[in-house]
Amino acid sequence: MRSLLPVALAVAGIVLLLNLISFAFGVAPLATLRAAAAGTWGTPYGIGQVLFKATPLVFTGLAFEVGFRAGLFNIGAEGQLALGSLAGGCVGAALPAGTPWILALPLCIGVAMGTAALVALVPGLMRARLGVHEIISTIMVNRIADGIVPFALVTLLGATSLRTADLVAGASLPKLERALPAFAGSAASVAFPLAIAVAFGVEALLRRTRAGREMRWTGQNAEACRAEGIDVPRRQVQAMLLSGALAGGAMTATVLGYKGYFELGLGTGAGFTGIAVALLGRGHPLGIVLAAVFFGTLQQAGLAINAHVPKEAMDVLTACAIVLVAVANRASRAVGSPAPDGGSAAVPPEPASVES
């Protein structure tokens, strides 16, 4: 039950903040809640939009989770996603017309994920080989990406409209409305079920492969892993590579499934919100998917209640939700910490073994 405490605290805090925001703008809280519910889960179109907005968050949540399991804090998913999306969009636009999807899609996704992984490689190597903390280096890489993306679009590609050319038809993911006509008009695409499959695939990799298990053990006790002969720097670098690749995979929803091209600002914010998704998901693939849907609902609700409350107020609410998730996650851990008198507020988990 303690694992549900952050969820309960975060949801309760968000509802309270939404009520306070409604009062501040002279709107009845019940009317705001009704408008939010109707614009999100009240119509098939709203549901489709929620799923679309949740899809990049699944990938960025997984990106942070993989690094976190290895004892790393990848704050750079924002920049990794931007550069990966730019690379994937450029490749998709440069392919010859008529390229079949069986070639175009894997190529675009592979280039995007590979580019994002290379962006994450630099902070990974700096942490593993030089001891430079990845929080500092990944934040700096985000700032570098903020400068590289517009420079590449304008100077290298000559895109005065700050976007790439349209992708070839074979590089676009089909919309969910093809299978579910009720979603007509929404931006939801096959990227959402793909994200769910990736979430469970990553969990299987971390638990059922030697590399994955050693990544997790490294995050639990790096010194014990060194004593057991595990190459800790190697596993840290591998974790950062996987983390960056997952962040780049978010472009399947934004570039391949929605716009059909990359433009400046596409996917902005998903990297940072993914941190809260990972914390609220509690390390479980289904939890991460549900947390992403929760934050996707908040984003869509901001548009739905725009007639009652300015959208900027919902952006503030989302930012507060991220803080609430972090605080609630910390509070839930404190419940199981040893009491000052030497007792225990709850039974702590046994230390993990590093036996292979």
Q: Phi/psi class of residue 350: alpha, beta or left (left: φ > 0; alpha: ψ in -120 to 50)?
A: beta
The label of the residue with tokens 């002279």 reads 26
Give residue for tokens 């009491």.
339
Cα torsion 317, 318, 323, 325: sign: positive
The pLDDT value recorded for residue 63 is: 97
The DSSP symbol for 154 reads I
Task: Give the CA angle between residues 96, 157, 112 to the nearest 5°.
Answer: 65
Distance between CA 289 and CA 276 in Å, rounded?
Answer: 12
Global confidence as pTM: 0.89
No. of H helices and E strands in the chain?
14, 0
pLDDT in tens, the chain (356 residues): 566 666 777 778 888 888 888 888 888 888 888 888 899 999 999 999 999 999 999 999 999 999 999 999 999 999 999 999 999 999 999 999 999 999 999 999 999 999 999 999 999 999 998 999 999 999 999 999 999 999 999 988 887 788 999 999 999 999 999 999 999 999 999 999 999 999 999 999 999 999 999 999 999 999 999 999 999 999 999 999 999 999 999 999 999 999 999 999 999 999 999 998 998 888 899 999 999 999 999 889 888 887 778 877 777 877 787 787 777 777 666 665 554 444 444 333 444 444 43
Q: For position 336, what pLDDT does the model report?
A: 56
End-to-end CA distance of the chain: 30
Q: How is the chain split among helix, strand and coil, in percent rounded to 5? A: 75, 0, 25
User: Domain 2-335: which topology?
Assistant: ABC transporter involved in vitamin B12 uptake, BtuC (1.10.3470)
Count of beta carbons in the 10 Å neighbourhood of residue 202: 22
> 214 with 225: CB under 8 angstroms?
yes
The pLDDT value recorded for residue 190 is: 96
Beta bridge partners of 163: 263
